[in-house]
Structures are given as C-alpha cells and as structure tokens.
Chains A and B, each alone.
Chain A
Amino acid sequence: MLGQIVVSGFTIGAIYALIAIGFTIVFATNRLINFAHGEFVMAGGMLYAYFTGVQQLPIVPAFLLATALSGAVAWLVYQVGLSDVDRDNHITQVMITLGAGIALKGAAQVWLGKDTLFPPAFSGQASVAVGPLTVSSQALWIAGGLLAFLLALHGLLKYTRLGASMRAVSIDHYAATLMGISPGRAAAMAFVMAGVIGGAAGGLLAPLASTHYDNGIFLAIKGFAAAIVGGIGSPLGAVVGGLVLGLTESLAAGYVSSVYKDVVSLALLLCVLILRPQGLLGQVLPQKL
C-alpha cells in the first residue's frame, strides 16, 4: 500500500509542481502574487476539453492549441490589466489579477459551459504496471511534461537573452532598467510562460481529474502553497515544493486521516513559513529599509 500511495502522491505532486512553476516565475519577475494563475490552469483544461469535444480535433493539436491559447490569455491579462500599472503598487496589482481571474472564470462559464468534463487521456491504455504498482499512463505523461518544461525553462533562463533579462529583473527591476532591460517585456514574457505551463498542467490533469470552470481557485491555492514551501522565485523550488506537498497529502490521507489531510499539508506550510520562510530551496532576500 505504501508504494501505491507514494505513486499517487508523486502524480498529484507533479501537477502541483507544474502549477507552482508558472506562479513562481511571475512572482520572480513581477514580485506579484498572481491570483489569476489558477484560471490559466483551468483554461488549459477547459480548452483542451473543448477542442477534443466540441471541435472534435485529435489529441495532439487540441492540447497544443489549448496550451497556446492559455498563453495568449495570460499575455492579454498582463497587457490589459497590468502593463500600465505602477510596478511598486503591489496591492493594486494583486487586486487586478483577482478581478482578472474572476472574469476568466466567468468567461469560461459562459463560453465553455458549466459541465464537468473528462477529455481523452493522451495514450489509450488506462494504466501501466510497474512491478506490483499501477501507474496511470496519464501520470507518466504528466511526469514527462514536468521534465520537459523544467529542461526548457532551464535552457531559456540560462542560455537566452530573454532568460538573462528575466533573471535580472527578478533580482532588481530598477537596476535592470539601468542596464537597458525592459522590465515590462520580461514581465509580459513571464506571464506568457505562466499561461503556457499552467495551461499545459490543466490539459494534462483534465483526463485524470476532470475539468470544470470552477476548479481554478482550488488548484491555485495548492500551487501557491507548493511554490512557497519550495522557495518562491525558484522554479526548481516549485518542483520540490510540489512533490513534497503532493506526497504529504497522499501519506496523510493514507496513514493519518483523510478528513484532516488538508490540515496536515497546511500545517507543513505554516511550519515552513514560521521556521524557514524562504522555503526549502529559496535564498533569504535582503529586506530593504
């Protein structure tokens, strides 16, 4: 039973990790808690269900289209909502993302429908036997997706000019401006990436857990928690945080009490915040006076 619970924990953990990565990238470049992030994930799932369902597209183009559209939506949210707002006014920006998230949810409700949908899994076979354990084939796709995005992100941040400018902005956006880097462009790209990765997470998750216009907030909170536990601002931290959170939840449900499993993960979060706020992999940011 332990083995199966661990498999289950890693499966959800990988999803939390994918959600957390997008959230943490936006935080790093904008110093902003993006309350609309959960809706990017929801959009990915709902659009994937829409393209395979109503539009009857095959799986691969549907998924790619859904992911791309989520990225576009995220870009739109940034452009319309945040691009001309004072970068230092955090609370206003948070409110705008909150409003944008609600608007996205409302849009999905009206244009994509109110049904709970289970779009097709990527490969036909439902589960794969790995020794005595069963792993759902979709879980393997999720793990693969996580790895792929991690590698792509690492490559982007380390080897491209865009990546360098994003890293610069995340360290100090005033200094970056002095170096000739446009924080607005880095911020916009961060949003697009969050939209793409978040949308992919939604699309990967939907065949497993269903998609519904309402499930954005539920996933978002898990993503925030994972990002904080792992160390906000660090994509690798997001992955570690996601896996740790998923595993904790699954173990708590299996061995402590399924009623209070969320309390266990929240207690973990609170402990991390109280004892080591920068998270497992984060660095202590100097506090400005």
Chain B
Amino acid sequence: MFLKAVNKRPFRRVSMIAKLCAPVAMMLAATASQAQETIRIGGIFALSGPASFLGVPEERGFRMKIDEINKAGGLNGRKIEAVVYDTEGNTTKAAQQFRRLAESDNVIAVIGPSSSGESLTVGPIANELKVPTVTHAGTEKMTVPVTPWVFNTPPTDRVVAAHLLGVFKKRGITKIGLMTAADGFGQSGANVVKELAPQYGVQVARHEEFNRQDADITAQVLRVKDSDAQAMLIWSAFPAPTIILKNAAAVGYKKPIYNSFAAASKDLIVQGGANAEGTYVSSMRLLAPETLSADDPMRQIVQKIYADYKERYKEAPATFTAHSYDALLIIEAASKKIQGPITRQSLRDAMETVSVAGGNGLYRLSPKSHGPDPESRSMILLVVKNGEWKVDE
C-alpha cells in the first residue's frame, strides 16, 4: 500500500515535507530577525531636583534589571535598549520627554516618572498615545479609576499613611505633631495623613511646615514640643529629617519620632549619628531584608534585589529601587505570555494577566487592578537600634 502511494504521486512526500518545513522555516527566520532587533524601553526619572531622592535609585534599579534580562536572553529573544531622560522633577519636562519616548524613540513601554505631579500630567498622554506606562507615583489617582494604559508600582500615599496611623492606633498614640516639607512630597503626605487620621482615632495636634533645605528647624520642633502631641511624624526627604533629629535632640525633645519612607535609608543613621537612635520609619522591605521572616512571600525577591544592587553599585539600595525593578519584573513576566510579536498593545494586554511577587508587594494584575495588591502589606515598621535598622513589629 505504501509503495502504491509513492508510485502514484512521486513528489507527494516531498511536497508534504516541503509544506511542513516552510512554515517552520519562516518561523525560524522570523524569530532570527526578531532576535537581532532590539526592543526599546523608555525611562523618565527625576535624576535631579527635589524628587531626585526617588529618581536616582529608580534609574539604577531600571538599568540593573534590564541588564539582568538581557543577560538571560532579553524579552522573547530581543535585547532591551534602555532610553533614559531626566525630568528634573518638572511636570512640563516629564510630559515632553514622554512624548519624545513615544514618538521619536519608539519605545514599547515607559517606566516612570518619579513623582505624583509628573505622573498626573503623563497619565492622560499615555492613554492618548496608547503606550503601556508604569508610573512611580504616590497618588492613588493613577490607578483609581483604572485607565487602560497606566500601571503603578509603589504603594500609594494612602497605604503608607494607613500603615503609620495603624501603628499609632496600636500603640495608643492619639495626638501627633505633623512636620511636613513645603514641597510636593510633603504636601501629599500632609493631605493624606490629615484625611485618614480621624479613622484611626488620631488627631493632628500641630501641623508645622519647613523647607526641605532649611538650615535650622528648631522653631517648628519647639512648637510641636510645646503642644500635647504624644509623638512626632516627619514627612520629608533629606536633609530635613536629619536636621530635625539634631534640633530635637538639642532642645531635649523626648517623645518618639516617626518618619515617612523618604527617610528610609542608611543615610539617616550615617548623618544623624547618635541623634537617630530610637527613630522609627515606615518603609518598604528593601531597607532591611535580613530581618524579614522566613514565610514572608516577598523575602526571596527582596533579598535578591538587595544583593544584586549591592554587588553592582557597592552600597545598599534605597527602597525606591523596587519601583522600577518591579515594573520590569511585570514587563518580563508579561512578555513571556505573549505568543506573537511584542507590540504596545500585546504587551499591555499581557500585563493585565501577570501575577508576581515584587520588592514592593504582591502584584495580581487584572483589568481592574493596575497596582500592587492592597492586601500585600507593603510597609513594615523599622527602628534604629545600635546604629542599625531593625524590624519593630
């Protein structure tokens, strides 16, 4: 029977094999040409200006993870080319550079910007130009309501404030002195703390402002000291927290001092010295990975980020590194799920199906959830003991 078939149509087998080979050959050719083609991912971070404490570690996390992905073969075989611009924390620049990345540089996705103000300006443009964008904003407006093209990796200001207020409630602190910087970061903190405090039975007995770069903040510290506040909450980036600690020690302020995540770095200990002893900070896990419990679902990834960063940059990472690292984790996981070529649309669609553990928390992305899962406790409380950060809850 076999022989009969071969004799009747002598080229049938050849043509069958050819028919099978052709698509395979085409696929091989396609992936071969794709593997040579790089894929561009854009980053807009505040590398200078008042938000640089966020932007600089974010950019480092960005480059670190991209190199790691490229070493492992890239995204579906395509190497990533990073295109980074400095927004200087300026909303106009951020918007301009976003357009540049989207239209001139033809990136497949954008990571950043670093601050809420910039992100609010960039968000609508991302939706208009249809570019998957993972912002690093503290404001929950980026993901509430969810818009198709915008994702966000950090825990929102609301989550951070809720964490601290929860700690106050647990410790029986009902009156606090709030010290905030007179910049975007400080204002966002002031807004959200004042809004949520009543829900935790906490009253803001005193609210004082200062310039982040002021040389002396004694007057404000004295006003808090003189009030009936049981604790002080500082919401500002450096150098102000260090200066407040110094001024507070000088005037003999004895009540507990809590900080926002902006002060969550080794700098507070190095700069503050003995004055920093006993200070609390609400921080993402990346500050003290060795102190995480063994069953913490984020322990593994956090320790990896810490170790990789330390090896590459020779110093401990700032916690904001996780913002961009997580963004790339999501993009990496998403691209693995894409069957065909990676385009802006296919990437976006895939990102909405990703579930990963990142440095900031657990991500269970869906069309309704474009940020870290609020159930994953992103923030932990740390205290300075003997010149080191230790988990305190």
Identify the A interface with B (CB < 8 A): 1, 4-5, 7-8, 11-12, 15, 109, 114, 116, 118, 126-127, 134, 136, 205, 208-210, 212, 214-215, 218, 250-251, 253-254, 258-259, 262
Residue on A with the closest CB to B190?
Answer: A259
Task: Please name all residues of chain A whose beta carbon is closer than 8 Å to the beta carbon of B37 when the two chains form the complex.
Answer: none
- Which 9 pairs show the lowest CB-CB distances between chains A and B? A209-B215, A210-B239, A253-B219, A254-B219, A8-B218, A259-B209, A118-B271, A258-B208, A134-B250
Verify A116–B239 contact, CB threshold 8 A.
yes
Task: Please name all residues of chain B whose beta carbon is closer than 8 Å to the beta carbon of A134 when the two chains form the complex.
Answer: 250-252
Chain B nearest CB, measured from A28 CB (Å):
26
Verify B48–A109 contact, CB threshold 8 A.
yes
| B105 in contact (CB, < 8 A) | no
Contact of B242 among A118, A126, A127 (CB under 8 A): A118
Verify B238–A254 contact, CB threshold 8 A.
no
Chain B nearest CB, measured from A38 CB (Å):
12
Chain A nearest CB, measured from B383 CB (Å):
21
Task: Please name all residues of chain B whose beta carbon is closer than 8 Å to the beta carbon of A218 when the two chains form the complex.
Answer: 211, 213
B204-218 interface with A by 8 A CB criterion: 208-211, 213-216, 218
Q: Bound complex: CA of A254 vs CA of B209, how far in Å?
A: 11
Task: Please name all residues of chain A whose beta carbon is closer than 8 Å to the beta carbon of B304 when the two chains form the complex.
Answer: none
Verify A4–B213 contact, CB threshold 8 A.
no
Verify B246–A8 contact, CB threshold 8 A.
no
Verify A208–B215 contact, CB threshold 8 A.
yes
Q: Bound complex: CA of A1 vs CA of B253, how far in Å?
A: 13
Chain B nearest CB, measured from A130 CB (Å):
12
| B27 in contact (CB, < 8 A) | no
Decide yes or no: A210 and B271 within 8 Å by CB, A116-B239, A127-B250 being known contacts: yes
| B301 in contact (CB, < 8 A) | no
Task: Please name all residues of chain B whose beta carbon is closer than 8 Å to the beta carbon of A215 when the two chains form the complex.
Answer: 213
Task: Please name all residues of chain A whose beta carbon is closer than 8 Å to the beta carbon of B214 when the two chains form the complex.
Answer: 209
Task: Please name all residues of chain B whose beta carbon is closer than 8 Å to the beta carbon of A214 when the two chains form the complex.
Answer: 48-49
Verify A258–B213 contact, CB threshold 8 A.
no
Verify B226–A1 contact, CB threshold 8 A.
yes
Residue on B with the closest CB to A106?
Answer: B48
Verify A210–B238 contact, CB threshold 8 A.
yes
Contact of A259 among B182, B226, B251 (CB under 8 A): B182
Verify B243–A210 contact, CB threshold 8 A.
yes
Q: Bound complex: CA of A118 vs CA of B242, how far in Å?
A: 10
Verify A210–B218 contact, CB threshold 8 A.
no
Task: Please name all residues of chain A whose beta carbon is closer than 8 Å to the beta carbon of B251 when the two chains form the complex.
Answer: 4, 134
Verify B208–A209 contact, CB threshold 8 A.
no
| B24 in contact (CB, < 8 A) | no
Chain A nearest CB, measured from B371 CB (Å):
29
Residue on A with the closest CB to B222?
Answer: A1
| B68 in contact (CB, < 8 A) | no
Task: Please name all residues of chain A whose beta carbon is closer than 8 Å to the beta carbon of B226 when the two chains form the complex.
Answer: 1
Task: Please name all residues of chain B whose beta carbon is closer than 8 Å to the beta carbon of A205 when the two chains form the complex.
Answer: 215
Task: Please name all residues of chain A whose beta carbon is closer than 8 Å to the beta carbon of B250 when the two chains form the complex.
Answer: 126-127, 134, 136
Verify B215–A254 contact, CB threshold 8 A.
no
Decide yes or no: A116 and B215 within 8 Å by CB, A5-B222, A134-B251, A258-B210 being known contacts: no
Chain A CB within 10 Å, residue with most, of B52, B182, B211, B219: B219
Task: Please name all residues of chain A whose beta carbon is closer than 8 Å to the beta carbon of B48 when the two chains form the complex.
Answer: 109, 114, 214
- Interchain Cβ contacts within 8 Å, total number: 84
Contact of A258 among B209, B270, B275 (CB under 8 A): B209
Q: Bound complex: CA of A7 vs CA of B219, how far in Å?
A: 10
Q: Bound complex: CA of A109 vs CA of B56, how far in Å?
A: 13
Verify A209–B219 contact, CB threshold 8 A.
no
Chain A CB within 10 Å, residue with most, of B210, B213, B242: B213
Task: Please name all residues of chain A whose beta carbon is closer than 8 Å to the beta carbon of B210 when the two chains form the complex.
Answer: 253, 258
Task: Please name all residues of chain B whose beta carbon is closer than 8 Å to the beta carbon of A250 when the two chains form the complex.
Answer: 216, 218-219
Residue on B with the closest CB to A211?
Answer: B239
| B220 in contact (CB, < 8 A) | yes
Q: Bound complex: CA of A214 vs CA of B251, how far in Å?
A: 29
Residue on A with the closest CB to B50?
Answer: A214
Residue on A with the closest CB to B215?
Answer: A209
Verify B215–A258 contact, CB threshold 8 A.
no
| B223 in contact (CB, < 8 A) | yes
| B388 in contact (CB, < 8 A) | no
Chain A nearest CB, measured from B219 CB (Å):
4
Task: Please name all residues of chain A whose beta carbon is closer than 8 Å to the beta carbon of B392 when the two chains form the complex.
Answer: none
Q: Bound complex: CA of A259 vs CA of B242, how far in Å?
A: 20
Verify B216–A12 contact, CB threshold 8 A.
yes
Decide yes or no: A11 and B216 within 8 Å by CB, A1-B222, A4-B222, A136-B250 being known contacts: yes
Supply 19 A–B pairs (Cβ within 8 Å), ascending by A. Answer: A4-B218, A4-B251, A5-B219, A5-B222, A7-B218, A12-B216, A114-B52, A114-B56, A116-B239, A118-B270, A118-B271, A126-B250, A126-B275, A127-B250, A134-B251, A209-B215, A209-B239, A250-B218, A254-B220
Chain B CB within 10 Å, residue with most, of A11, A205, A258: A258
Q: Bound complex: CA of A7 vs CA of B247, how far in Å?
A: 12
Chain B nearest CB, measured from A250 CB (Å):
5
Residue on B with the closest CB to A11?
Answer: B216
Contact of B220 among A126, A210, A258 (CB under 8 A): A258
Chain B nearest CB, measured from A289 CB (Å):
43
B266-280 interface with A by 8 A CB criterion: 267, 270-271, 275
Chain B nearest CB, measured from A63 CB (Å):
18
Q: Bound complex: CA of A53 vs CA of B166, how far in Å?
A: 40
Task: Please name all residues of chain B whose beta carbon is closer than 8 Å to the beta carbon of A15 when the two chains form the complex.
Answer: 215
Decide yes or no: A116 and B238 within 8 Å by CB, A1-B226, A209-B243 being known contacts: yes
